[in-house]
Structure 1
């Protein structure tokens, strides 16, 4: 067994990262994009932590471990498309581990014949109005230590502004204005998205004001609003997802997929419920297409139809 092969058993996170960036490829044998690599690493790490909790390893897990993964709090919220992405990832991983002698079998192979891509677009993940308020109230509670303050500020930013993970990674200290009236976050133009200003709701202002004041005192290089390291490196998608998941699980919100996208959808839904037009909400989200707003609006209409049937 080579050093790289044994690394799969000693440090699977590092081994997976090295494999993704140097050898792994898609069905067309083309290397994965940088964005796909980040997503795959986050998915692999989530599954690896599940295995650790069950006392299993990358070299020993079986079909039962995958099935229990679907039954985990996060797994139960996965759409059919997300499950299919995990199955394809695990199948690709197991085939490689068999090739290098780390595994003897591929428990994901049979799932490829069972799982399939959805015929219809999956329902977007979001927190309903009650869960939204519950999270808002939690974010109002005091946060004394740095890690808790930073985590809550990150979650509050996603929930209060609807920005994407990429926009949060690029946000700078000078983009946040919690002291002015009205308080707002400035999102610079990038790609096809124009620059926009998003006013901050009341629940987020004290927390983001406290974070901005604390951030100004930290010995961190650069001007990024959020960073986990003193060298000022941007936060990764995997870290953002872990931060959101930790906060949601802390208050028992495990039905929806714990991700910045879920909080962005929640923001969108809140604006639509408040009576804002889809054009206005689109501008707040920095979108040119109405696809996201239309999909979220459909969930509102479905809820209203269900309530009507219940009343009758």
Structure 2
């Protein structure tokens, strides 16, 4: 087979993959070809975020009985009206529109699609003039979630989900830090109980004390995990073989538990729980410098934005 024939065969296989396995096709395209407006490849973190966004939109299309190759503007409009879509900030909506526009332009170029329904949406969406208000749980919803985390879990998956949400809500760690947490980092029986957050990127290692409500679910998960002899050292795994949990799985877990307590007017993400942790410390009178250190932040910018919400009316 000549080089041109080989390239043509690979392109044909890739095009058909968009129809048979769009998740894999999108992941392959992101790694091999996709780039930002400046022509530079996306960072590894951006690729993970884009894949999670794409998968969320793909599942929406699947529920509506349509595909990546055939969806239209009505399907995008319906996406904004979903449970999660109604909580999206202006910036998040803009990121989705840019992602869909970039995707559709590629699919039109390769012949998978005949049109780009996202192109018209670009003129309707705008980046916000100001930074969006941080998403957080009100004090009442925060208390309701803390109480929910004390309820007996139905099964192993529920136990793990409660422990994961307890970690986000009770320590303020990020999704990346939760993915990297190891069993040896959790000390639920210490006085006081704490979690070691390992150094990563520009952030130094830090120790975060566990909120009291987070101790029982985290202790229960740690004990059960040890009894099951799950492979590897990661605290949270997707399978007994030790497969790491993805951002997408974290998002689904947080969404399911927030839905269970009726928290329907907020973005259901680990970041919302991290912001809630931050706000709880500020409400308790903790200095912003100390709260920023708890979050592993070098500046008080995040704390300042969340502190500004304390004296604003909440719905």
Establish whether residue 192 from structure 1 lines up as the match of residue 211 from structure 2. no
Distance 1:159 1:116 in 2: 32
The aligned residue for residue 63 of structure 2 is 53
Query: Deviation string for 1:212-243 (max 9, x for gaps)?
Result: 10111233332111111344343221221121
**TM-score, normalized by length of structure 2?**
0.93
- Aligned partner of residue 301 in structure 1, secondary structure: coil
What is the deviation of 1:192? 2.8
RMSD: 1.5
Establish whether residue 220 from structure 1 lines up as the match of residue 218 from structure 2. no
Distance 2:20 2:233 in 1: 36
Structure 2 residue ranges without an equivalent (≥5): 1-10
Aligned residues: 305
Structure 1 residue ranges without an equivalent (≥5): 308-312
Q: Which segment drifts farther, 248-257 or 89-98? A: 248-257
- Aligned partner of residue 149 in structure 2, secondary structure: helix
Among 168, 175, 179, the residue aligned to 2:189: 179
Establish whether residue 133 from structure 1 lines up as the match of residue 143 from structure 2. yes
What is the deviation of 1:202? 1.9
The aligned residue for residue 169 of structure 1 is 179
Q: Which segment drifts farther, 230-239 or 242-251? A: 230-239
Distance 1:4 1:107 in 2: 22
Distance 1:180 1:196 in 2: 16
Distance 1:189 1:106 in 2: 43
Query: Deviation string for 1:99-155 (max 9, x for gaps)?
Result: 121111111000111111111111111111111111111111111411111111111
Distance 1:189 1:28 in 2: 31
The aligned residue for residue 253 of structure 1 is 263
Distance 2:205 2:49 in 1: 26
Distance 1:46 1:92 in 2: 16
The aligned residue for residue 152 of structure 2 is 142
Distance 1:17 1:186 in 2: 32
- Aligned partner of residue 308 in structure 2, secondary structure: helix
Distance 2:164 2:297 in 1: 22
**TM-score, normalized by length of structure 1?**
0.94
The aligned residue for residue 116 of structure 2 is 106
Among 232, 236, 261, the residue aligned to 2:246: 236
Query: Deviation string for 1:20-62 (max 9, x for gaps)?
Result: 1111111122211111110000000000111111112111111
Distance 2:301 2:115 in 1: 42
The aligned residue for residue 275 of structure 1 is 285
Q: Which segment drifts farther, 242-251 or 273-282? A: 242-251
Distance 2:228 2:110 in 1: 45
What is the deviation of 1:96? 1.0
Distance 1:191 1:92 in 2: 29
Establish whether residue 201 from structure 1 lines up as the match of residue 211 from structure 2. yes
The aligned residue for residue 310 of structure 1 is none
